[in-house]
Amino acid sequence: MGSAAALGGGMSAAEEGALDILHRDRAVLVVVDLQERLLPAIAEKERVLGAGLLLLRAARELELPVVLTTQYEKGLGPTVREVLAEAPAVTPVDKVAFGCFGSEDFLARLSAFPGRDQLLMAGIESHICVAQTVLGALAKGYHVHIAADAVGARTPDNREVGLRRMERAGAVLSSAEMAVYELLARSDGAAFKRLLPYLKDPR
């Protein structure tokens, strides 16, 4: 018997997902519904936005594809300006389905990134649009990482319920900083030096 089996009977399939490291040539950053009329109602909105901005800065430095979404922009407003400023070349995908995989436009956007099988998730709300998107991604065979500090909901309870559901389904819970360091992989590159000030003070 191996040591893992001796200690706990081995790992489940979901636990094995935690061994999956983010790679800059495999990952796409998906930022869900950080909108002007949604974000103000989110608990700890400053943390959610700050962690999301860190991920967007890292995506820019590492040339990671980014997909932004909005939920019914006409009613809930556009993506917040801070997010748009970090991804000026990205046009948000507007949707009416809560889960992004229910949007043909979202599917078309993802299809522009062949060979990328990892989704790094951020956004709101944890138990609705983020959760339904993550479940849809897992059903399609994507490896999903969730930057938990970049995910929020109107209530802390719903945020936690959403995170637990996604983790039980097989997604990997992470943090913005943890994800960035996995994507960087090394400390001797120019990208690390440029991102270091934001890692020291993500504000």
Asked if residue 109 has pLDDT above 90, the reply is yes
Question: What separation in angstroms does the CA of 140 have from each of 117, 164, 201?
Answer: 10, 20, 36
Sign of CA dihedral 86, 147, 31, 138: positive
- Give residue 88's pLDDT: 95
Asked, for residue 2, whether it belongs to a domain, the answer is: no
Tell me: pLDDT of 75 over 80. yes
Does the residue 85 lie in any domain?
yes
**Pairwise CA distance, residues 7 & 71, whole Å:** 46
Q: Is residue 8 part of a domain?
A: no
Q: In angstroms, rounded to a whole number, what is the distance separating the alpha carbons of residues 177 and 145?
A: 12
Quick one: pLDDT at residue 200?
Answer: 81
Query: Cα separation of 143 and 4, whole Å?
Result: 23
**Out of 9-13, 20-24, 137-141, least confident range:** 9-13
**Residue 8 pLDDT level (bands cut at 50, 70, 90):** very low
| Digit-coded pLDDT (tens) for 38-72 | 999 999 999 999 999 999 999 999 999 999 999 99
Q: Mean pLDDT throughout 130-150?
A: 98
Instruction: Look at residues 67, 127, 68, 56 and name the one whose alpha carbon lies nearest to residue 98.
Output: 127
CA-based radius of gyration for the chain: 17
| Residue 122 CB partners (closer than 8 Å, separation 6+) | 29, 30, 31, 32, 34, 48, 51, 52, 55, 146, 147, 150, 151, 176
Is residue 100 among the annotated active site residues? no
The verdict on residue 4 lying in a domain is no
Q: Which of 94, 95, 100, 149 is catalytic?
A: 95
CA 72/CA 33 separation, integer angstroms: 9
pLDDT at res. 4 = 42
Look up the CATH number of the domain holding residue 174. 3.40.50.850
Residue 111 maps to a domain: yes
Instruction: Establish if 21 belongs to a structural domain.
Output: yes
Residue 14: pLDDT band by 50, 70, 90 thresholds?
low
Identify whether 82 is part of a domain.
Answer: yes
Q: Is residue 165 part of a domain?
A: yes
**What is the band of 147 on the pLDDT scale with cuts at 50, 70, 90?**
very high
Tell me if residue 33 is catalytic. Answer: yes
**Number of CB atoms found within 10 A of residue 197's CB:** 10
Q: How confident is the model at residue 6 (pLDDT cuts 50, 70, 90)?
A: very low
Looking at 94, 100, 117, 129, which residue is catalytic? 129
129 given a catalytic annotation? yes
Number of domain units in the chain: 1
Domain containing residue 164: 13-200
- pLDDT, averaged across the chain: 92
Candidate list 33, 94, 100, 149, residue with the active-site label: 33
Q: What global pTM score does this model have? A: 0.91
